[in-house]
């Protein structure tokens, strides 16, 4: 079944925090259940250097599969089929319900701004999108930045610059997708929502900040 675009967007925004072990158990279950069945999000996790996490997810699913085989040995085919449907349905429903409650507690803020840069941009401007994850206490947990509009060959150099400078402590989980540069800006982590909106307006001259 094709994953819901909103679910994919939420999961991909939460993946950097997931890799840094900043998400709780219920959110982890939601992310792992989604990634296990979504090729797009699985590739996104792999692009963020999450091979170890992917291996863990695969191992967990293999363990569940082997447990299912042992149950089929102990029971008849009919009883096992019914049991698997009931257990799997109940478990998935429970995890989905709990994870939806957790995810729905978050607010997602989106803002756009332009960087004037004749040296890097093909049209003189870098187009930037910021998406902030705000928790139930109105505190920013992470900000994902997407930049596009680079000249040919420039984006790889920008990526290498980020990867090769450990002193850029606030920038993490950089990845290149086509002509877009994605990364986490941890400058705003821990900032209260209203303060974040005000600072964005002051620093980036953002006119519109919307919830998505």
Q: What tokens does 157 get?
A: 């150099």
pLDDT of residue 59: 60
The residues facing 33 across adjacent strands are: none
User: What would the pLDDT profile of 151-196 be if each residue is shown by its tens digit?
Assistant: 888 888 888 887 765 545 688 888 888 888 999 998 899 999 999 9
The rounded distance, in Å, linking the Cα atoms of 212 and 198 is 18
The closest alpha carbon to 108, from 127, 128, 135, 129, belongs to: 135
Rounded to two decimals, the pTM is: 0.53
Flag whether pLDDT at 201 surpasses 90. yes
**Percentage, residues of the chain above pLDDT 70:** 70
Which CA distances in Å does 154 have to 42, 62, 144, 165, 186?
27, 42, 20, 17, 24
User: What would the pLDDT profile of 70-128 be if each residue is shown by its tens digit?
Assistant: 666 566 666 666 667 767 666 666 565 554 444 557 889 999 999 898 788 888 899 99
**Percentage, residues of the chain above pLDDT 90:** 22
Q: Are strands 125-134 and 107-116 parallel, antiparallel or unpaired?
A: antiparallel
Flag whether pLDDT at 1 surpasses 50. no
């Amino acid at each position: 079944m094709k994953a819901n675009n909103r679910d994919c967007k939420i999961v991909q925004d939460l993946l950097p925090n997931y890799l840094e072990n900043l998400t709780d158990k219920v959110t982890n279950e939601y992310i792992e259940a989604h990634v296990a069945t979504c090729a797009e999000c699985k590739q996104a996790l792999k692009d963020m250097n999450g091979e170890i996490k992917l291996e863990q997810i695969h191992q967990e699913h293999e363990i569940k599969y082997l447990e299912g085989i042992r149950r089929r040995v102990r029971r008849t085919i009919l009883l096992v089929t019914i049991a698997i449907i009931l257990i799997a349905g109940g478990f998935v429903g429970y995890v989905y319900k709990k994870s939806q409650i957790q995810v729905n507690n978050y607010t997602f803020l989106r803002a756009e701004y332009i960087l004037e840069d004749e040296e890097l941009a093909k049209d003189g401007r870098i187009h930037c999108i910021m998406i902030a994850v705000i928790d139930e206490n109105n505190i920013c947990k992470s900000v994902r930045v997407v930049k596009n509009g680079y000249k040919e060959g420039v984006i790889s150099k920008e990526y290498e610059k980020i990867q090769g400078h450990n002193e850029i402590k606030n920038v993490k989980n950089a990845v290149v997708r086509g002509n877009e540069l994605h990364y986490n800006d941890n400058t705003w982590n821990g900032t209260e929502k209203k303060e974040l909106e005000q600072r964005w307006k002051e620093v980036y001259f953002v006119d519109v900040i919307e919830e998505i």
